[in-house]
Amino acid sequence: MFLFAGLGNPGAKYARNRHNIGFMAMDEIVRRHSSGLGHFSPWRKKFQSEVSDGIIGGEKVLVLKPQTYMNESGRAVGEAVRFHNIPLTQVYVFYDELDLMPGKMRVKLGGGAAGHNGIRSVAAHLGPDFKRVRLGIGHPGIKDFVMPHVLGDFAKADGEWLSKLLEAVAAEIELVVSGEDEKFQSRVALTLKPPRPNADPSSRRKPGPTDEAEH
């Protein structure tokens, strides 16, 4: 079994906050995979969370949104992991990352909390060796503006990249359960920034005698 845990704060007040992008990713995964063979269950209360379970890529997946508030996320994630005896290499925590540009995504195993209270809480309950899916929200540039930034709602201008990111994460998530984290990361990146036409050097026309060099 795999556990996908998205971090955020419960309640309508926080629903569109940048800090809640982990919740948004979980909602999109369940929405996209709630038809066909991988049908996901309706959201229900368990493990101090909202949970849904289904099948992705032939593997059982538990999707979890802790309702403990961000700073205590580890209580909910830890309870689910212990109950199902899930290996930490199959625990993926999705969360907002200030140090990544908006729309960027990185996957890594282990590491520090980098000031993220939700990750710090999960690590306190599980240890550091779980998978992290870092979803970039960008940094406001000034330390004093960090809290208003993460607890502020996504701007209307963010809508296009945010939708593309969430849809790509949900569309490519089967690569995670097949053990292809790097390919998952690459596929999502390509969705957000597709290659330019004629990017292949072999497809470029050789300059003729009348062509001028570009500077």
Which residues, other chains included, contact 15 with Cβ-Cβ below 8 Å and sequence gap of 6+?
23
**Chain position carrying tokens 């995964």:** 29
Domains of the chain plus CATH, in order, are: 2-195 (3.40.50.1470)
Amino acid in the structure at residue 45: K
Q: With cut-offs at 50, 70 and 90, classify the pLDDT of residue 39.
A: confident
φ/ψ (deg, to 5) at 16: -105, 10
Catalytic (active-site) positions: 19
The arithmetic mean of pLDDT across residues 9-29, rounded, is: 95
Q: With cut-offs at 50, 70 and 90, classify the pLDDT of residue 161.
A: very high
Q: What distance, in Å, lies between the first and last C-alpha atoms of the chain? A: 55
Amino acid in the structure at residue 150: V
Amino acid in the structure at residue 160: E
The strands making up 59-66's β-sheet, listed across from edge to edge, are: 44-46, 49-56, 59-66, 2-6, 91-97, 131-136, 105-109
The pTM of this model reads: 0.87
Is residue 133 a contact partner of residue 90, using CB atoms and an 8 Å limit? no
Identify the pLDDT of residue 30.
Answer: 95
For the segment 42-80, what is each residue's pLDDT rounded down to a tens digit?
999 999 999 999 999 889 999 999 999 999 999 999 999
Q: With cut-offs at 50, 70 and 90, classify the pLDDT of residue 168.
A: very high
Length of the chain: 215
Identify the pLDDT of residue 112.
Answer: 80
Identify the pLDDT of residue 191.
Answer: 85
